Every structure is written in C-alpha cells, then in structure tokens.
C-alpha cells in the first residue's frame, strides 16, 4: 500500500490547519454565546451491546463524550476524515499495526497513561513508534482457548499430540456415523485460521522469532513456519475432523461454528477467543455451560498465550482527546463494563474481584500468570498483508486450509503457503 | 431497478434526431446549467481526472505504466478480468432472451398481468436484499438451504457431498442466478412496451403478402423494433453487471471472495477507498472498458433500423389466439420460479433468531420474534428514518437541479445535442468505486467528508446526469409549437419550464421514483462515503451479513421491511416509469 500521507506534508498540514480553523470559526459562530465546549468525539468499531456498554463507560467521564460507531471499516473512515481534516479526538483501533502506521504519518498525539496502567509484558511496547507511546490498550481478548461441553468430552487434551490423537479417534467415529465430529471451525472467516496459526507458531518457534516476524524483521521461509503449517495440516487433514467435511467448513462462518457446538452439538471442540460466550449465550440449548481449556501445545511448562486487543489513540492537536485516553487507561474507568460482563481488561492492576463473570475472571488471572504473552500476529502485519476477506494473510490461510482438506499432500500445501506468505510480506514492505 | 434504466431514453438519443428542437434560445437561461455543472464537474469529472492522474503517478511522481503492470500481473487479475467480461456478456444475453420470451408469452395469456407483476417485484428490491434472499436459499447446510436440500435429493448424494452453490466452483453461477432473477422483470417491461408499440397493421400486411409466422416475426417485429430493443436491453443489463459488487459483498463467504471477484471488488480491495496506485490503474481499465461498451452500444443502436416516426396508438389486439400449452407452461413456470426466493425470504423472516440460524424455515412453526426484536430496538428505526430523509432530500435536489439543467439543454439539436447526450451518458455510468478517493478529497474541501451531508452530495452528483437526460429528452419531445406559443404568449422562462414539467409528468414521476429507489436501495455509496450517525439501510443490512447464519432471522426481517417502500413505489408507478422512460426511447 502506498503511503498516502507522505505527499507534501507541509502543504497538507497547513491546509488542515486552515480547515480546522475554519471549522472552529463556524462552530463558534453557530454556538453563539453558549460557553459549553463541544463534546469529545470518540470513533469506535463496536456496535450493538458493546457500543452500549462503552457509552456507559464514558458516561462516567467528567466531560461530554460523543461516541460514534465507525463499524468494521474504521481504517477507511479515519483516513477519509484525516484527508478532510475532520478527524475525531479519539479513536479506538482494533489493530496495533494501525496505531504504528498512523503515528509514523504524524496523525497521532503522544500519550502518557494513568499511573495505574499496567500491562502483561507482551503487550507493553506494541503501541510505540520511534520510542514514543501513541496508544494505550483498553480491551483485551484471550485467543488461546478451546471450548467444549464436559459431558461430551470428559478428558480434554493437554498436549498437541493428544489433540491430534483425540481428533483422529473422534473423526473416525464421526465418519462411521455414531458421534459428533471432533472440531468445529469457522474457516469462512480468515481471522479464525490466522488465530490457529499464531497459537501453533508461538508454540513451536524459538524465542524471539514470533516477535521478529511481527516486526517485519524475520524471514517467513523458516523451519518454524514450516513446522507450524505442517502441524496444522496434520490436524486439519484428519478424515471426518469437521462436521459436513472440510469444504463445508470453508463456508462456515465463525458464529455458525459456535452454533454447531453449543446448539446442534455436531462437534465436540471449538477453538476461538473468550468472546465465543457472547454467541454461546444466545444459541445454547440446555442448562450445561461450555467449559474451556488452553490451546494445547508441545510445551506444557510455558505455554504461550495469544492475546488480541483494542487500543485507544488521540489525534494530533487534541489535548482533550489525550486527557480522555489517559482516563480510559486507568484501572477503574471500565467498571460498568466489568460489572456487566463480556469484558476482559488488558490492565493487570484491575482487581480480579471486580470481574462479575467467572470465565473472564479466570482468563484475567491467566493473563497475569502467563509466562509468554504474544500479541495477535496478523493484527500487527503491515498494509494489506494483515488480511481481510479474500485479501492478505486471511486468504493465504484459507487457500492452505482448502489444500489440506482437499487431500493435497501436507508437504506441498505447506510449501505453497510459505511461498505465498513470504511473497505477501515482501510486497507489503515487511519481512525479508 | 436503477439509474441505468434511464439509458433506455439515452441510448436512443444518440441516434438520428427525431424532430427539430426549434426552441427559442435565451442567453440567461444557460445559467440554469450552473448547479448541474458544478456538481458534475466537482464530483464526477474532476475525480475521474484525478484517478487518471493517480494511475500513472506515485505521490505526484510520474511512474508511467508501472501501476498498470503491477496490477495486471498480480495473481488472479486475469481471472478477475475474464469473470467481469463473462458477466458483461453472458448475463445480459440470458436476461435479454428470458425477458423477450416471457414478455411475448405473458402477452398472450390471461394471467400475463399477474405474472408480470411478480416479475417486476424483484427489480425493485435492493440488491442487498436479493443477495440475502439467495444466500438463504443456497445455504450450504441442507437443514437450512432449500436449494442445497433439493440438490442433495436430486443427485442422491449425502449432505456433505451435495453440490455447494456457494462453494468456489459454483459461486459465480449462484451470483448470476440472483442477478438474472432481479433483472428479468426490467427486460420484460421494456420488451412489452416495444411489442405493444408494434403496429398490428404491419403484421397484417406481412400476412396479406403471404408471409408465414417467421416472416411476421422478422419483418413486422424484429426489423422495425426488436433489434433496437434487444440492443438497449442487452446494454442495460451489461452496464448493470457493474453493480454485482453489492451481491458479491453480501452473498460470497470470505473464503470464496476471490473465486467470485470481479473488477469492481478488486478495485475496492486494492485501494480501500483511497484510489491510489494499482487501485487507480485497475479503475482506469474498468472505466475504459465501460466507456467502450457504451460507445459500441450507442453506435449499434444508431445504425439499427430507424423507428417508425408516427406510431399509431396501440389498438387492442383484434383476435387473441388461445395460448399454446408451451407458452402457458413457460409463464406458469416463471411465476413459480420467481416466487420461490420471495417465499424463502418471507418464511425465514417469520422465525426467531435461534430457529432461523439453527434450522430451516420449514422445520418450526412461524412466529414474529425477529420482527419484534427489530422493531422494538432503536437501530432499525434510526436507519429507516435516516434513509427516508436522505432519499427524499436527494430526490428533491436532483429533481430541482435536473429540471433547471434540462430546460436549456432541450433546445439543442443536431451534433451539440448528441454530444451532450453522450457526455451525460458517460457521466451516469462512471463506477463510483473508481473515483472514491478523489471524491472524498473534494468533499473534504467543502468540509463534509464522512458526514450525512457529504453522502447526500455524492448521491446527488451521481443521480443528476441520468435525471437531466431523461427530462431533456422528454422536454424535447413536446411539440415545439406549444413551447413557442407559450413564449410568444409572454411567459417568462419560469412559466415555460413549469409548462414543460406539467406536460411531462410521467417523466418527472419516473425520475423521482427511480432516484428515490436508487438512494434507498444503495449499498456502495453508503459504504464508501457514509460516516458516523449516518447509517443507510443497505449498509445496516450488509453489516449483519458478517455473521450470516447467526443473524439470518433479523436479516430476513430487516430485508422485508427494507423492501416494502421501493416495491410499492415501483409497482404503483410502473406505468409512469415505462411511459416516462421509454417515451421516445423504444417507441
């Protein structure tokens, strides 16, 4: 992707300043004698229930806050607003890669978080560019979870090999028609597959390699990436692994995969993040609650934990935005959402007792004790490589999945995927 | 039914001038062109130039054909271009043939009127709703997808091996079937208007000279009229395939996007609304292809057999022969085939979220849960209200600007009339994805990027060229003596304009209804230009398709609610629509 903002920065800045001044002038004229300052504008990706919770959160802030839901395409939205010189004060971004990109273009304001802002080690330095901090984490997602019903699976697997063995056994049973398939997977959504890949990669890669890949400093054509993909091929290639077969899994979206487990019970296990319980609550049948186990890996001692998250940034020139972000980074700002449930705080200074919902409380404890916290790799990749429907890493993982379930030998499927990953990294300007 | 319907009138206008447009000129009235010129210049012409510029530069630096080379050599581009061409050739052919057959068949049978009504309903639906409907029907799970269940039963295969219509191999076929379903009604309307306009005396004359059935078809229908009509319908449908974007976004699951992709989607994916580099290059390729198609079609229509100058008012058919069995079967089959998807949508909407997501609509008794959830929430009401206001305001502004501009343009005759016709036609077919970035820049200058105001401005700019064309053609059709008499009678230009508008009510109604329905049904403009607090209906529905199965109850109910108004408008106004648009076009 070509950086749009690089052309003639001085000219553009002065034009933006002019526009801002014009906007301020017209706003002042409209406001007339009224002395109340305009509300602080926050653009978020959330909608529905999450948006309502966030509105409750900022309702406790000292000044007026206007929350605007920009939807999933917040990047395009913010680019357009920046181009037009009408950026909001604050934005909450779903990808750390965006924070760094915006900061490098000079769109953001440097931030100082509240004193009670404390993070797990893997997340701390992701929101900085050139040694300055431009964002704070406000929401976390635990992405190393399997969900299951204890009545269907008495002994969850603890290692990768156990998972493969179990999948083979259940898969054979499902093929003969007397039992559910072992795994549900929403392969129509590329991010589900990249989450799988990240968990396996973090598990098999030598120390530092995962982070180096994320920073664009490592080569994708490495033994670690090969091993990770081989492992996935080993599991996904099991006959009868998915309800309705692999081709059907490629047309199954994430929510539907949850429904396959919690409603139909057509599958025994489901891998995805803590937010599975939002869907589960709507579609569960019977009183039994789904339980979770950690993504099984080769290393039992220091299992890496993959997290995702949303970061708050303040746009350049907005002091009030920076103040709001600082307030949001404090441990107590998100109390209403904590109490309502469905929220996992990245801030480890938030007392565990504040969590009303037991799943989140346990996950918050895991976040504190995990030896190796790794942040979602695909969210950190540059440009289109980061993926969306039919684009970048999402697409590559889906091609790989299709190859594996179509019976292409694991070796050639892996080689093809590695080649595509390396090429995508090169053209996106990261990797070597 | 969309903006392109206007090209009916438009395409014809490039042909030989029908009559002298000897209106008295008045210098000052050219100022009436100003609003339309500003809108088209700022939001269409300038952005097109900017896109051309962006396709050969990087950050203002000349790079020659580099972006074109990169974009065209990117993996999959060949397939995307090929698929776009397939869409532009195969789909219009099917639409044209089906449209003619159904128009001819439904003309003879007693139930014809009802069947045509059924066929017209899909043309009024937003393409997002069409996408939702067909995705419900083609759901890969045989417990939910009717088509998959039928396919599995017919092929005798298990659910897992049944052909998947949304799978990578068949997804384009699935998309095309949805498009044909939505567009055949339009073709039927146009063909029917054409067939009705054929003077029956012509057929009698051919018969009197001993012509057989084929001679009647050839000499009394094809040569005087149908050739032109086929060209017009084919071109309309071909240009309409540019709108497959909405369908692909709604119908194709993420994993088969590439297998379904066409240029529209590729341009959007590569440039992400910014229109730089490769995105701009692909956009230029697309633009050139569309413009070339338009020119070829215009030439074709121009060289076709000229229409009869003074059509006789349609006399009732003297003898109605009893319809043959094949005809009746065709008509009945079409009615059923066109009703099934509507039935699926309606039936799904009558199930709550859990029932609709977990099992098909035929498994559980209907209820109103999905409607209740939607109607008791605030989001649907807000988006309905916003869309209603947006569509009304845009329609009013477009009508105002277009009436003013059509007035001076209606005096032109000869080459200037043809040139403005071509320019307006070109402006009305510029795909908005191609100019999204520059349009946002322009909007930024007027401080309305990412706001409801900006969204409305873009809609107005995109709607004006078509509206001007239709109104100009309609005005020019009014006998010159009447206008002259009005002016000689001492009327001011304003009075003349009012007279013209009054005498061309069908055209004005047609423009208003089409513009309203177009804005109401829009997805792509909302996707590219809407901002916070400005959530148009199409975007609201498309947003929920990210979790399609889980939201299918709400999606179906929302789709039904979203379709009521456009269907009502188009069905009620269909006579004026055809009269207004076809006046001078197909006749």
Chain B from 531 to 550: CB within 8 A of any A CB = 531-533, 539, 543, 546-550
Q: Give me the pLDDT at residue B561, please.
A: 96
Query: Which residues of chain B have a CB within 8 Å of the CB of A388?
Result: 269
Higher-pLDDT residue of A358 and B6 is A358
Residue B477 has pLDDT above 50, yes or no: yes
> How does residue B587 score in pLDDT terms, banded at 50, 70 and 90?
very low
Q: Give me the pLDDT at residue B272, please.
A: 64
What tens digit of pLDDT does each residue of B463-474 get? 999 899 888 888
Q: Which residue of B has its CA nearest to A43?
A: B532
The verdict on B170 touching A (C-beta cutoff 8 Å) is no
Higher-pLDDT residue of B576 and A310 is A310
Average pLDDT over residues B345-356: 93
Q: Give me the pLDDT at residue A32, please.
A: 42
Cβ B533–A80 below 8 Å, yes or no?
A: no
Q: How far apart are CA B20 and CA A99, in angstroms?
A: 63
Nearest in space to B556 (alpha carbons), one of B413, B406, B343, B386: B343
Q: How far apart are CA A339 and CA A306, in angstroms?
A: 24
Q: Give me the pLDDT at residue B450, please.
A: 67
Least-confidence region, from B44-53, B396-405, B446-455: B446-455
Q: How far apart are CA A218 and CA B464, in angstroms?
A: 53
Least-confidence region, from A14-23, A242-251, B80-89, B125-134: A14-23
By the 8 A CB rule, do A201 and A225 touch? yes
Nearest in space to B163 (alpha carbons), one of A171, A255, B173: B173
The verdict on B63 touching A (C-beta cutoff 8 Å) is no
Nearby residues of B564 by Cβ (< 8 Å), 6 or more positions away: none
Q: Give me the pLDDT at residue B133, please.
A: 97
Cβ B273–A2 below 8 Å, yes or no?
A: no
Q: Give me the pLDDT at residue B449, please.
A: 66
Least-confidence region, from B142-151, B305-314, B337-346, B387-396: B305-314
Q: Give me the residue label for tokens 């504008």.
A: A41
Residue B447 has pLDDT above 90, yes or no: no
Rounded to 5°, the CA angle B34-B36-B37 comes to 60
What tens digit of pLDDT does each residue of B278-304 get? 889 999 999 998 888 888 877 766 544
Cβ B547–A255 below 8 Å, yes or no?
A: yes
Cβ B546–A22 below 8 Å, yes or no?
A: no
B394: which 2 tokens?
């845009």
ipTM entry: 0.86
Cβ B444–A394 below 8 Å, yes or no?
A: no
Higher-pLDDT residue of B319 and A382 is A382
Q: Give me the residue label for tokens 């059907």.
A: A248
Q: How far apart are CA B273 and CA B280, in angstroms?
A: 10
The verdict on A389 touching B (C-beta cutoff 8 Å) is yes
> Residue B490: which region, alpha, beta or left (left: phi > 0; alpha: psi -120 to 50)?
left
Dihedral sign, CA of A300, A301, A304, A305? positive
- B58: three-class secondary structure by DSSP: strand
Q: How far apart are CA B210 and CA B205, in angstroms?
A: 9
Query: Which residues of chain A have a CB within 8 Å of the CB of B447?
Result: 19, 22-23, 84-86
Residue B61 has pLDDT above 70, yes or no: yes
Q: How far apart are CA B206 and CA A237, in angstroms?
A: 70
Q: Among partner residues A8, A77, A264, which is closest to B531 by beta-carbon distance?
A: A77
Higher-pLDDT residue of B264 and B158 is B264
By the 8 A CB rule, do B186 and B234 touch? no
Cβ A389–B254 below 8 Å, yes or no?
A: yes
Q: How far apart are CA A268 and CA A262, in angstroms?
A: 9
Query: Which residues of chain A have a CB within 8 Å of the CB of B168?
Result: 250, 402
Q: Which residue of B has its CA nearest to A240?
A: B160
The pTM score is 0.88
Question: C-alpha B333: how far from its chain's center?
Answer: 25
Which of A241-255, B142-156, B490-504, B533-547 is modeled with the greatest confidence?
A: A241-255
By the 8 A CB rule, do B353 and B558 touch? no
Q: How far apart are CA B124 and CA B22, in angstroms?
A: 38
Higher-pLDDT residue of B96 and B235 is B96
Q: Give me the pLDDT at residue A356, please.
A: 83
Torsion angles phi and psi, residue A182, rounded to 5: -70, -40
Higher-pLDDT residue of B30 and A286 is A286
pLDDT under 70: residue ranges of chain A:
1-36, 71-72, 84, 299-301, 430-432
What tens digit of pLDDT does each residue of B411-425 get? 777 788 888 888 888
> How does residue B13 score in pLDDT terms, banded at 50, 70 and 90?
very low
By the 8 A CB rule, do B586 and B229 touch? yes
Dihedral sign, CA of B10, B14, B20, B23? positive
> Residue B586 has what DSSP assignment?
T
Q: Among partner residues A7, A79, A259, which is closest to B357 by beta-carbon distance?
A: A259
Query: Which residues of chain A have a CB within 8 Å of the CB of B157?
Result: none
**β-bridge partners, A90:** A42, A314
Nearest C-alpha of chain B: how many angstroms from A189? 6
Query: Which residues of chain B have a CB within 8 Å of the CB of A2?
Result: 58-59, 276-277
Average pLDDT over residues B6-11: 40
Could you tell me the CA-to-CA distances from B558 to B137, B362, B537 in Å, in that order? 17, 20, 9
């Amino acid at each position: 992707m070509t950086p749009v903002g690089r052309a003639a920065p001085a000219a553009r800045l002065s034009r933006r300043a002019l526009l801002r001044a014009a906007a301020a002038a017209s706003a002042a004229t409209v406001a007339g004698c009224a002395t109340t300052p305009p509300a602080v504008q926050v653009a978020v990706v959330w909608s529905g229930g999450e948006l309502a919770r966030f509105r409750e959160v900022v309702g406790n802030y000292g000044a007026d806050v206007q929350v605007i839901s920009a939807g999933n395409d917040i990047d395009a939205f913010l680019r357009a607003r920046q181009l037009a010189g009408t950026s909001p004060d604050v934005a909450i971004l779903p990808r750390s890669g965006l924070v760094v990109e915006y900061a490098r273009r000079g769109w953001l304001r440097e931030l100082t978080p509240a004193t009670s802002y404390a993070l797990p080690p893997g997340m701390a330095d992701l929101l900085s560019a050139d040694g300055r901090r431009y964002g704070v984490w406000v929401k976390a997602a635990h992405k190393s979870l399997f969900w299951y019903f204890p009545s269907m699976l008495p002994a969850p697997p603890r290692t990768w090999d156990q998972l493969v063995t179990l999948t083979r056994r259940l898969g054979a049973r499902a093929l003969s028609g007397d039992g559910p398939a072992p795994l549900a997977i929403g392969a129509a959504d590329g991010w589900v597959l990249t989450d799988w890949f990240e968990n396996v990669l973090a598990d098999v890669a030598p120390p530092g390699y995962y982070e180096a890949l994320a920073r664009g400093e490592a080569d994708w054509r490495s033994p670690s990436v090969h091993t990770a993909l081989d492992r996935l091929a080993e599991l996904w290639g099991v006959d009868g692994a998915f309800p309705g077969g692999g081709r059907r899994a490629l047309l199954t979206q994430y929510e539907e995969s949850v429904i396959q487990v919690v409603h139909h019970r057509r599958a025994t296990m489901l891998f995805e993040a803590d937010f599975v319980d939002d869907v589960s609550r709507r579609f569960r049948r019977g009183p039994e609650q789904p339980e979770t186990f950690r993504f099984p890996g080769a290393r039992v001692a220091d299992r890496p934990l993959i997290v995702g998250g949303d970061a708050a940034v303040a746009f350049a020139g907005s002091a009030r935005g920076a103040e709001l972000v600082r307030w949001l980074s404090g441990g107590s700002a998100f109390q209403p959402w904590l109490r309502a449930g469905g929220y996992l705080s990245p801030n480890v200074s938030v007392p565990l007792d504040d969590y009303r919902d037991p799943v989140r409380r346990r996950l918050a404890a895991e976040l504190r004790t995990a030896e190796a916290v790794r942040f979602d790799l695909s969210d950190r990749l540059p440009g289109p490589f980061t993926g969306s429907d039919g684009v970048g890493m999402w697409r590559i993982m889906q091609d790989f999945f299709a190859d594996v379930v179509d019976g292409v030998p694991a070796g050639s499927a892996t080689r093809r995927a590695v080649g595509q990953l390396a090429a995508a990294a090169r053209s996106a300007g990261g990797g070597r | 039914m969309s903006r392109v319907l206007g090209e009916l009138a438009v395409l014809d206008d490039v042909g030989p001038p029908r009559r002298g447009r000897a209106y008295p000129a008045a210098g000052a009235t050219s100022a009436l062109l100003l609003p339309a010129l500003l809108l088209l210049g700022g939001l269409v012409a300038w952005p097109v130039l900017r896109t051309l510029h962006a396709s050969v530069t990087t950050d203002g630096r000349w790079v020659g054909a580099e972006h074109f080379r990169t974009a065209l050599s990117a993996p999959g581009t060949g397939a995307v271009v090929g698929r776009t061409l397939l869409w532009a050739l195969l789909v219009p052919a099917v639409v044209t043939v089906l449209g003619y057959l159904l128009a001819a068949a439904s003309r003879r049978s007693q139930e014809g009127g009802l069947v045509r009504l059924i066929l017209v309903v899909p043309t009024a639906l937003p393409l997002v709703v069409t996408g939702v409907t067909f995705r419900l029907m083609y759901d890969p799970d045989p417990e939910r997808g009717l088509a998959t269940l039928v396919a599995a039963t017919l092929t005798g295969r298990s659910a897992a091996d049944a052909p998947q219509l949304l799978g990578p191999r068949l997804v384009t076929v699935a998309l095309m079937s949805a498009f044909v379903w939505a567009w055949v009604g339009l073709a039927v309307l146009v063909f029917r208007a054409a067939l009705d306009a054929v003077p029956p005396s012509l057929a009698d004359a051919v018969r009197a000279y001993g012509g057989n059935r084929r001679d009647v078809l050839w000499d009394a229908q094809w040569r005087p009229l149908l050739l032109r009509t086929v060209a017009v319908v084919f071109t309309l449908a071909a240009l309409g395939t540019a709108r497959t974007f909405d369908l692909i976004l709604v119908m194709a699951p993420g994993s088969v996007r590439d297998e379904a992709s066409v240029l529209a989607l590729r341009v959007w994916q590569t440039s992400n609304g910014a229109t730089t580099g490769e995105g701009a290059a692909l956009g230029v390729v697309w633009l050139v292809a569309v413009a070339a198609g338009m020119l070829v079609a215009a030439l074709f229509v121009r060289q076709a057999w000229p229409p009869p100058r003074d059509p006789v008012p349609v006399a009732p058919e003297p003898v109605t022969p009893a319809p043959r069995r094949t005809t009746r079967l065709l008509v009945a089959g079409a009615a059923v085939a066109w009703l099934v998807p509507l039935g699926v949508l309606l039936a799904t909407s009558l199930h709550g979220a859990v029932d609709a997501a977990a099992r098909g609509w035929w498994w559980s008794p209907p209820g109103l849960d999905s409607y209740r959830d939607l109607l008791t929430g605030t989001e649907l009401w807000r988006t309905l209200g916003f869309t209603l206001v947006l569509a009304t305001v845009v329609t009013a502004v477009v009508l105002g600007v277009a009436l003013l501009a059509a007035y001076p343009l209606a005096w032109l005759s000869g080459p200037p009339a043809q040139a403005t016709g071509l320019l307006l036609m070109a402006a009305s077919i510029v795909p908005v994805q191609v100019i999204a970035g520059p349009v946002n820049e322009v909007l930024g200058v007027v401080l309305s990027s990412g706001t409801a105001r900006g969204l409305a401005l873009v809609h107005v700019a995109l709607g004006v060229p078509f509206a001007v064309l239709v109104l100009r053609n309609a005005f020019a059709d009014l006998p010159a003596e009447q206008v002259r008499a009005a002016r000689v009678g001492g009327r001011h230009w304003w009075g003349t304009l009012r007279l013209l508008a009054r005498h061309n009510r069908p055209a004005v109604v047609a423009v208003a209804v089409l513009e309203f329905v177009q804005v109401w049904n829009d997805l792509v403009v909302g996707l590219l230009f809407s901002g916070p607090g400005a959530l148009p209906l199409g975007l609201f529905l498309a947003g929920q398709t990210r979790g399609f199965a889980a939201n299918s109850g709400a999606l179906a109910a929302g789709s039904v609610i979203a379709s009521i108004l456009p269907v009502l408008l188009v069905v009620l106004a269909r006579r004026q629509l055809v009269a207004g648009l076809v006046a001078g076009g197909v006749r």
